[in-house]
Amino acid sequence: MAITTNDLKNGMSLNLNEGLFQVVEFQHVKPGKGGAFVRTTLRNVRTGAQLDKTFRAGEKVEQAVIDKRDMQYLYRDGADYVFMDSETYEQRNVDPASLGSAADYLRESDSAVLQMYGDEIVGVDLPAAVELTVTETEPGVQGDRVSGARKPATLETGKVVQVPLFVNIGDTLRIDTRSGDYITRA
């Protein structure tokens, strides 16, 4: 669907020659002399790279329709992740590369919102924090209470995070999905 650059809004997706982009920020500029233009900051949906691009005011661009589907992660099938659509109950095999870092936070039966452009998965929306169990870490030593000291811990999904010394195997931790950092014990 073609729209003009005057209709741009933050979060809108565009299909440009360079690829599929989401508008992070835009500014409509009307200088004293010369024509008006729209200065934008765009984020590549597939790679995450940012691009600054300037359009003439009223220039036509192609809007991309991103469909967000609520899916439940069922199990791994070889290298692929198998998801089930919560509305149609269709199962779909998803390549780990399509999920990106979201694969580090998915457990069986967890829900996620998959962003789809046609049949291609271009993004995954996860909750801001997830609770995962520690499967492997060094034991905390009595008397080793240095303020702010950290140690690596492996979570049930295989992700390794830095945690405080008092965390033990079997503890359930709350992990920030945006940064991958330890928040607190659950």
- When pLDDT is cut at 50, 70 and 90, the band that residue 153 belongs to is very high
Q: Tell me: pLDDT of 26 over 70.
A: yes
Q: What is the CA radius of gyration of the chain?
A: 22
The reported pLDDT for the residue numbered 175 is 92
Angle at 93 between CA 91 and CA 94, to 5 degrees: 130
Q: Tell me: pLDDT of 15 over 70.
A: yes
Range with the poorest average pLDDT among 74-83, 84-93, 139-148, 176-185: 139-148
Q: Tell me the domains of the chain and their CATH numbers.
A: 2-62 (2.30.30.30), 67-125 (2.40.50.140), 129-185 (2.40.50.140)
Q: What is the pTM of this model?
A: 0.72
Closest to 171 measured CA to CA, from 155, 159, 157, 160: 155
What percent of the chain is predicted at pLDDT more than 90?
22
